[in-house]
Chains A and B, each alone.
Chain A
Amino acid sequence: AIQLTQSPSSLSASVGDRVTITCRASQGISSALAWYQQKPGKAPKLLIYDASSLESGVPSRFSGSGSGTDFTLTISSLQPEDFATYYCQQFNSYLYSFGQGTKLEIK
């Protein structure tokens, strides 16, 4: 099974900061990676799919990059509503796995 490792596990930042979260896959997955945002008590929300495609309705301050084993999620200018937990997810041969999550907190 393909494992995803996110870093950091937690992150403190301020409104307006530029933030980057990384996700590393245990083997190459081409571009089959998504990023989700989850707020407390809510279901996850798809932000980025196919490593770098922005989901409809998601603000353009979110961007994704990478291919193969190394991927990043960048938030260009943090807004108050962006403080949440972020998960990467891979899709390979119709099986999925998630990273362990990155909790983004207000500094």
Chain B
Amino acid sequence: QLQLQESGPGLVKPSETLSLTCTVSGGSISSSSYYWGWIRQPPGKGLEWIGSIYYSGSTYYNPSLKSRVTISVDTSKNQFSLKLSSVTAADTAVYYCARSRRELTGDLSYYYYMDVWGKGTTVTVSS
């Protein structure tokens, strides 16, 4: 059974870079049927997609965060990572990693849906 596990510092200082890693177990990150992504949820608020990556390294980012986000993949370790620069208190959140599964629709388009999630890790931005 596929499992995802987030790891990284739980406390980051303002203006520094938040770095998290998601380790995939029970399956390969190098499958052509999936994207891998990061989502966050500030305390008491809704979900915000941060970005996604394909095993080949192709990335897509939320336009509102794009200038500060880098997502990378390490297929040899079955991991992908998030870096968010110049953090402020507004970046305090639970950060989730997730797998997006490819589905072929009736109009022969491919859509991707987040079907497996990590448990999430809390990151607090504070001095």
- List residues of chain A with CB under 8 Å of any chain B CB: 1, 30-32, 34, 36, 38, 42-46, 49-50, 53, 55, 87, 89, 91, 94-101
Contacts and interface: CB of A to CB of B under 8 A. Distances in A.
A46 B115 contact: yes
23 contacts: A31-B107, A32-B109, A43-B117, A44-B117, A46-B114, A46-B115, A49-B111, A50-B103, A50-B111, A50-B113, A87-B46, A87-B47, A89-B113, A91-B111, A94-B52, A95-B62, A95-B63, A96-B49, A98-B47, A98-B48, A98-B49, A99-B46, A100-B46
A97 B46 CA distance: 11
B105 interface: yes
Contacts of A96: 37, 49, 52, 62
Given A94-B112, A98-B46, A101-B47, 13 more contacts: A36-B114, A43-B118, A44-B96, A44-B117, A49-B103, A50-B113, A87-B46, A87-B47, A89-B49, A95-B60, A96-B52, A98-B49, A99-B46
**Main SS of the interface on chain B?**
strand
A43 B105 contact: no
B26 interface: no
Contacts of A36: 47, 114
Contacts of A34: 113-114
Interface string B40-68: 00000011110010000000101110000
A35 to B, nearest CB: 10
A55 B114 CA distance: 11
A87 B48 CA distance: 11
Nearest to A56: B115
